[in-house]
Chain A
Amino acid sequence: GAVVSQHPSRVICKSGTSVKIECRSLDFQATTMFWYRQFPKQSLMLMATSNEGSKATYEQGVEKDKFLINHASLTLSTLTVTSAHPEDSSFYICSASAGAGGRMSNQPQHFGDGTRLSIL
């Protein structure tokens, strides 16, 4: 159980293109979804946290107009990298959790397989 599907797994596109990445929880309701960015040989950097039906909370230094996050249902969140440039090239990983604080706050995050984004 607790499968998270992330699509696409790899994207190569030209500078200026907008790219949408989908994150789906397949067998559970994800109250909270998280979006991370990982640079080569480094740890994960949390970009934003989204709760179903509300606006995402972005971490300091992350441009919310650049990285648009939508969490319209309990099983789907999307990250759109708008007008992508080479410096946006990275490995993006989503995770989903059934917890949103309170008594559910010990629910683990379940991760997708990541999306490798390459902007030419």
Chain B
Amino acid sequence: GDSVTQMEGPVTLSEEAFLTINCTYTATGYPSLFWYVQYPGEGLQLLLKATKADDKGSNKGFEATYRKETTSFHLEKGSVQVSDSAVYFCALSGKAAGNKLTFGGGTRVLVKP
């Protein structure tokens, strides 16, 4: 079945540092790929998405590129802020799965001033 693997956290960074969170997936066909962010005590917010190979999703300074050859969707941000502290979830949605999301385990990011 479909699966998503993302790097375990916590990831601790200083403000203005470069952030990368690795995400790889296993799926049949051509899934859509997503990054969601969860702030403490809240639900998930869609951060960005990509629906086909080589698409780049971007939002709020975050980027991720759909790499079919490496089955990856790594999240990057060039200069993090304290407000970026949150848990980040990589996810995929396969057409065969009826729009269900398969989540990775989540990566907690802590940005220190």
A residues lining the B interface (CB < 8 Å): 4, 6, 32, 34, 41-44, 46, 49, 93, 95, 97, 99-102, 104-114, 116
What would 27 A/B residue contacts be, using CB atoms closer than 8 Å? A32-B98, A32-B99, A42-B106, A43-B103, A43-B105, A43-B106, A44-B89, A44-B103, A49-B98, A49-B100, A93-B43, A100-B99, A104-B99, A105-B93, A105-B95, A105-B98, A105-B99, A106-B32, A106-B51, A106-B93, A108-B34, A109-B93, A109-B101, A111-B36, A111-B43, A113-B43, A114-B42
User: How extensive is the interface on chain B, given as a class?
Assistant: 20 to 34
**Shortest beta-carbon distance, A105 to chain B, in Å?**
4
Q: How far is the CA of A64 from the CA of B101 in the complex (A)?
A: 20
Contact A34 B43 (CB under 8 A): no
Which residues of B84-106 have CB atoms within 8 Å of chain A's CB atoms? 89, 93, 95, 98-101, 103-106
Question: Chain A contacts of B95 at CB under 8 A?
Answer: 101-102, 105-106
Question: Chain B contacts of A4 at CB under 8 A?
Answer: 43
**Shortest beta-carbon distance, A63 to chain B, in Å?**
19
Decide yes or no whether B44 CB sits under 8 A from chain A: yes
Q: How far is the CA of A34 from the CA of B103 in the complex (A)?
A: 13
**Shortest beta-carbon distance, B10 to chain A, in Å?**
10
**Shortest beta-carbon distance, A73 to chain B, in Å?**
19
* A99: contacting residue among B99, B103, B104, B108, CB under 8 A: B99
Chain A residue at minimal CB-CB distance from B52: A106
